[in-house]
Amino acid sequence: MSTTTDKYAFGMIGLGVMGRSLLLNMADHGFAVAGHDKDQGKVDSLNQEGDKFAVKGFIDVNEFIQSLTTPRAIMMLVPAGKPVDSVIAELSPLLDKGDILIDGGNSHFTDTNRRVEELEAKGLHFFGMGVSGGEEGARKGPSMMPGGDKDAYNVMKPIFEAIAAKVDDAPCVTYIGPGASGHFVKMVHNGIEYGIMQLLAETYEIMKKGLKMDNAHIGEVFARWNDGRLQSFLLDITKDIFKFNAPGTDHLLLDDIKDEARAKGTGKWTSQSAMDLQAPIPTVDTAVAMRDLSKYKELRTKAAGIYSTADHQQIEGNKEELLTALEQAFYFTMIISYAQGMHMLSNASAEYKYDLKLDEIAKIWRGGCIIRSKFLENIYGAYGKDPKLAHLLLDGDVSDIVTSLLPGIRKVVAAAVNAGIAAPAYAASLSYFDAFRSERMPSNLTQAQRDYFGAHTYELIGKEGTFHTQWTAKQD
């Protein structure tokens, strides 16, 4: 039986792994909390795990609502989309003006915009909050990205700062900005996550197919990298995956897993939103596309029977030198993935009037979240020095690092192409960089073509105005 109390300071709707873990985290820090779920098993699990704390699970939503102190503070952790609207529709009549409702799931930011307006009209405080860190982060300290009603956030601030991950004693949570900014920033976080995961997958394939390395050696390399400048959560879990055997066997579970990746949609949303903002993020776009391509297993198998894979040749050269180049290449592409995401946030801040503090966002990503890494200290430093930095690659310290990595990324991309090994995110990252540093791109030809077939006009160097040419007219 949970420790009894008359009232609970915080309520959670949705007692899956994340919701239950967050409540128990709050209980660890001395807060009396309640949870509601329609699944009796999940309610029972909360009551069992929270046995020694002021924690209580409810199956009846009315009892749950009445158990909370006023003004009530309730977080929803349910699947994005219609489930969130259903919960809001059920809760709204039971709440009083001034109560606080928080969406802690991965809702699309446009849905959050709509809900902000709808609930504000009912006198309810509402904000969307991205939560990152998975089950372990939720239980031991996540990174949280709340945006929207600032007064409502300030009420919740003591709880969130208490349960957040800590880096240098600073909590990994901060007020992001107005409207749906919290969910927008979490979406971009997930896009960066897609990019880095794809880069790790390509790194694995280069080692396995190109360098003919066995699983043990690949795992050792990932572990060695994680002890150095590439240290990150995603690399840390990857080296663990290379040590986990399938139960009752002497081979890796990894080798038994289908090569068909799934997705919940946040990567796709990031790509779509980036195109709306005209913020190019080709590393993320490629990662989304590769997850989609992986699902066409039957087509890929047929193609493999038609097109010989004999050109999957071993990458020749000194293996340790090649691994040194690969470490440089991965560091380079990881930086590019972050740089693209931060540029997208910069554009969104201006377009949607979020007034994002990019240094604070980098600061709270240093702990608790899935994309935490040692390099985020560099990002935090760059935007701390210059809050108006237009692009991460323009920072002096970052540019020094990137320049030092160029030999490695060029060597790896060339070697992968010559060996017939797909490395699309590596190639996209390098091409993005080479285009970004081009003072003059070949886009003048694109403009000429657009004017030729569609009279879309063009601009001239050193002249004001727009121009159109009859390209088929006879010239003197």
Would you name the residues annotated as active-site residues? Answer: 186, 193
- 189 is known to lie in a ligand binding site: yes
> C-alpha angle 323/325/330, rounded to 5°?
90
Residue 106, marked binder: yes
Q: Is 268 annotated as a binding residue?
A: no
Q: Hey, is 389 helix, strand or coil?
A: coil
Largest distance between two CA atoms of the chain: 95
Q: Is 210 annotated as a binding residue?
A: no
DSSP E strand boundaries for 49-117: 55-58, 73-76, 100-103
Any binding-site annotation on 245?
no
Continuous H helices in 372-423: 376-385, 396-419
Residue 28, burial from CB neighbour count under 10 angstroms (0-12, 13-18, 19+): middle
132 is in an annotated binding site: yes
Alpha-carbon distance of 38 to 17, in angstroms, equals: 15
* Residue 71, preceding peptide bond in cis (omega within 30° of 0): yes
C-alpha–C-alpha distance, residues 455 and 474, integer Å: 17
Q: Which of 336, 341, 376 shows the shortest CA–CA distance to 360? A: 376
The verdict on whether residue 194 carries a ligand-binding annotation is yes
Q: Is 262 annotated as a binding residue?
A: no
- Cβ-based neighbour number of residue 141 at 10 Å: 21
d(CA 211, CA 329): 15
Element (H, E) at 146: strand 143-148
Query: Is residue 291 marked as binding?
Result: yes
Helix, strand and coil percent figures for the chain, each rounded to 5: 55, 10, 35
* 30 in a labelled binding site: no
29 labeled binding residue = no
Which residue ranges are tagged as binding site for substrate? 106, 132-134, 189-190, 194, 264, 291, 450, 456
Which residue ranges are tagged as binding site? 106, 132-134, 189-190, 194, 264, 291, 450, 456
